[in-house]
Chains A and B, each alone.
Chain A
Amino acid sequence: MQKILYAYPEGSSYDELLTAAGKPRPVARALLEHFEKLGPEALRQRQETADTAIRAMGITFTVYSEAGNIDRSWPFDIVPRTLPARQWRQIEAGLRQRLKALNHFIDDIYNEQQVLDDNVFPREVLEGSRNFRAACRGVHPRFGAWANICGSDLVRDADGTVYVLEDNLRVPSGVSYMLENRAIMKRLFPEIFAMCSILPVDDYPAQLASMLAELSPRPSDKPVIAVLTPGIYNSAYFEHSYLAQQMGAYLAEGSDFLVDSEDRVFLRTISGLLQVDVIYRRVDDDFLDPEVFRKDSVIGLSGLMRAWKRGTVAIANAPGTGVADDKVVYAFVPEFIRYYLKEEPILPNVPTYLCMREADREYVLAHLDELVVKPANESGGYGMLIGPRASVEERQRFAERIREDPRNYIAQPTLSLSTAPTLIGDHLEPRHLDLRPFILQAKDSYVTTGGLTRVAMNAGSLVVNSSQGGGSKDTWIVEEDA
């Protein structure tokens, strides 16, 4: 182990591949031994090959800047993150359970609102919700499934416990990178795949396509499915185009559609108008239909909400789903699991202080230097305060904001986030990471095998977002030898 792990310090964080004593965990043993045999120079070369392949395959994401939008190559680390299959099955069951409960909640909120009457969820939280859409009241999507695609972020604390950090229920992205990461790894290290039993990930597009087909309101063997994208200047356009292509669906922009007088949705094609059954939308609620939401939206389609409510077209995720993508709602998910499913949560939440509660707020304000404070409705790691690393002024500024708008802030203890060995130059160093699996739900549910592992490439950093210097790794769910 000396050669490539020489700079690997012992840390206080949990390492996914190595035990506290610095020995490879069983699922990573074959991998690390093989890396050791290859040696530093060969690893560096394979990293270069990977970078070249990513450029050639055009795997990019867009970074917005003042100088214009830049297409950046997807940052990828060749050292995979491993997880034992047995542990994964437990996580998978927890994720299904969670999404099921969340869908019950959304369906309830837009219909009977039993959860409010039973005092499980406070009415004032709903009233303060920015993502509740009154226009969605009374709609019954098929199978009661509003959130058909969910990306939940998982983190592991120092003691090895896996927590759900948040559930992305609006338009979660990243799954195409999960698939491409695996494609690259198979090209780079075919020999390791032959050595141990790594579960495949590539059935996701087929699962997504059949889940979407289940939502179709018209009985047909081959429903017409369209991916609605905001267009080429969106940061996730690569993914939109990738998924459409993999599913054999149309990749369409708002102006490609029209809604007729009978509230049916059509695509404009070179052979005329084509009726659409299912729209996998990658556009936020706000911009979905200028008739109902933001009037200035030019990336949505007028009349879509009429068609959806009349049931001529299915939309995934359903409009209004964002009501559950709120860090205050997040804190209630364990309660929802007990309330709707009569089950105990399999996966724990990170302990969360709700600043709207007076006692919690006082605690948060008194312990800002220990906590992570997050706005309820932001994503992408924006607008956060990492207490232990913030300056006195930053903490004061946040205290001010919390007092002004307590409903909009939550706080959590600073988790140490687990690490994994990451190739830095010609040797391995620990870097912090998280994991985003994707969960599908229509008639049944499905969880990706593993997910997208995001890694903070800067030493000591906890920020894994690709827009802020994060990279990614392939995620291996490894079957242990019997």
Chain B
Amino acid sequence: MLSRVAENLYWMARYLERAEDLGRFINSATLLLLDLPLGTRFGWDILLQITGEAQRFQQHYGQPTEKAIMRFLIADSRNPSSLLSCVHQARENCRTFRDLLPGEFWERINSLFLYVQDGLEKENIAEDRRARLDFLENVIARRHALVGLLVGSMSQNSAYQFIKLGRNIERADMGSRIVDVVSAVIPPEDQGVRRTVYQSLWVGVLRAMSALEMYRQYVGVQVRSARAVEFLLRDSKCPRSVRSCLADMELALAYLPNAGIPAEALRRTRRRLDQLQLKELTPAVLHEYLDQVQKDLSMLHHTIENAYFRAREKNDPYPHPSLQRIALQA
């Protein structure tokens, strides 16, 4: 398989995962804010922190109002991580390998893009919360249909493994970010009058990760900070936990050639996760640790990039891999 094709598959999966995660965060935050007492120190800008786009937001917008943030995160093509940009990029990547995937995949990803484009034109997603909830739920459902199509009808070949790598590294990245940002807002001891507030924040996070029901089944009805963190990072059954994402990537690498260096980076990340003492964790140490997880994931990405997307001779300058948007008559 060509390196470029592998890279496009990997990024398509990352973009689709990012779009879905973004939809989940926004919907969850919308529901959550309705429950919080007025004057609580928690605002829409938490979404900017989670997506790591606060700085870009400030370049283009003024006050971090709901309307501005929603427009920026969902509909702004200047933001490369906006829902619109992610879906657009995923579709453009998909054009280059239509024949590697089941036939309906292209039609569905194309229709997802058209749905997002039309929805953003027709509805006032930035202000109309009801329309936004519906719209994002539909985006999430359509993304699930895409994943389902692959799981149900695609051979588990190299192409599939690159999709798996992309999906899981993005998911792990988003998961660790959300735990990091939310932990920074909430003190570890669930005490005092604000306890219910904090509890509903973690409920919101679990819901955003589609993990609330699983948490209740396996951990308990009461949602506590430390346990939620443990569940989201280390639960081996929850498919959105960082641990599960790493395990999935390990399986994908086992299938691929030249996996030595990425697999080593992966094992290092997993070992660190296993050794973490979550019980006596202070917020500062947790933050430091999650920072390390982010670094590890970024390193893992680079090892994958070097092993598969950058086959080259020594001293060979690799041209920029971005798609070449040149239409020439041939």
List the interface of chain A (C-beta within 8 A of B).
56, 58, 62, 64, 69, 171, 173, 230-236, 241, 245, 250-256, 258, 260, 267-273, 282-284, 287, 298-299, 380
Contact = CB atoms under 8 A, between A and B. Distances in A.
B98 A270 contact: no
Interface centre among A69, A173, A298, A380 (most CB of B within 10 A): A298
A69 B327 contact: yes
Q: Chain A contact residues: over half helix, strand or loop, or mixed?
A: loop
A69 B329 CA distance: 12
Contacts of B313: 258, 260, 273
Interface stretch (B1-9, B20-28, B139-147, B295-303): B1-9
B130 interface: no
A283 B330 contact: yes
Interface centre among B103, B256, B329 (most CB of A within 10 A): B329
Contacts of B271: none
Nearest to B6: A270
A232 B311 contact: no
B3 A269 contact: yes
A43 B99 CA distance: 31
B327 A62 contact: yes
A235 B327 CA distance: 8
Interface of B: 1-4, 6, 92, 95-96, 98-99, 103, 106-107, 158, 256-258, 307-308, 310-313, 316, 319, 321, 323-330
Q: Chain B contact residues: over half helix, strand or loop, or mixed?
A: loop
A258 B4 CA distance: 13
A299 B258 contact: no
Nearest to A68: B327
A245 B329 CA distance: 22
Given A232-B323, A245-B99, A273 B311 contact: yes
17 contacts: A171-B330, A231-B323, A232-B95, A233-B324, A234-B330, A251-B2, A253-B324, A256-B4, A258-B313, A258-B316, A268-B4, A270-B1, A270-B6, A272-B311, A298-B326, A299-B324, A299-B326
A344 to B, nearest CB: 35
B253 to A, nearest CB: 12
A288 to B, nearest CB: 11
B329 A380 contact: yes
B90 to A, nearest CB: 14
A272 B258 contact: yes
B147 to A, nearest CB: 21
A112 B4 CA distance: 42
Given A269-B311, A270-B258, A255 B4 contact: yes
Contacts of B325: 233
Nearest to B324: A231
A271 B330 contact: no
Contacts of A245: 99
B298 to A, nearest CB: 21
Nearest to A62: B327
B104 to A, nearest CB: 9
Given A231-B323, A232-B96, A232-B323, A269 B2 contact: yes
Interface centre among B6, B158, B316 (most CB of A within 10 A): B316
B329 to A, nearest CB: 7
A380 B329 CA distance: 10
Contacts of B103: 56, 58
Given A256-B2, A270-B258, A272-B258, A241 B326 contact: no
B1 A255 contact: no
B311 A268 contact: yes
Nearest to B162: A270
B319 A255 contact: yes
A66 to B, nearest CB: 13
Interface centre among A233, A284, A380 (most CB of B within 10 A): A233
Contacts of B2: 250-252, 256, 267-270
A84 to B, nearest CB: 34
B98 A268 contact: no
B326 A231 contact: yes
Contacts of B310: 268
A299 B328 CA distance: 9
Contacts of B258: 270-272
A244 to B, nearest CB: 8
Contact of A64 (B319, B321, B327): B327
Contacts of A64: 327
A270 B252 CA distance: 14
Given A269-B1, A270-B1, A273-B311, A241 B328 contact: no
A282 B330 contact: yes
B98 A241 contact: yes
A255 B330 contact: no
A62 B326 CA distance: 13
Given A230-B330, A234-B330, A270 B323 contact: no
Contact of B4 (A173, A235, A253, A380): A253
B212 to A, nearest CB: 38
Given A231-B323, A258-B312, A269-B3, 6 more contacts: A58-B103, A231-B324, A233-B327, A245-B99, A268-B2, A298-B324
A252 B97 CA distance: 11
Contacts of B4: 252-253, 255-256, 268
Can you list the 9 inter-chain pairs with the closest CB atoms, starting with the nearest? Answer: A233-B327, A268-B311, A268-B3, A232-B95, A270-B308, A255-B319, A271-B257, A171-B330, A270-B6
A271 B310 CA distance: 10
Contacts of A250: 2
B330 A284 contact: yes
A273 B312 CA distance: 7
Contacts of B324: 230-231, 233, 253-255, 298-299
B153 to A, nearest CB: 16
Contacts of B3: 256, 268-270
Contacts of B330: 171, 173, 230, 234-236, 282-284
Contacts of B6: 270
Nearest to A230: B328
A241 B99 contact: yes
A355 B30 CA distance: 74
A268 B326 contact: no
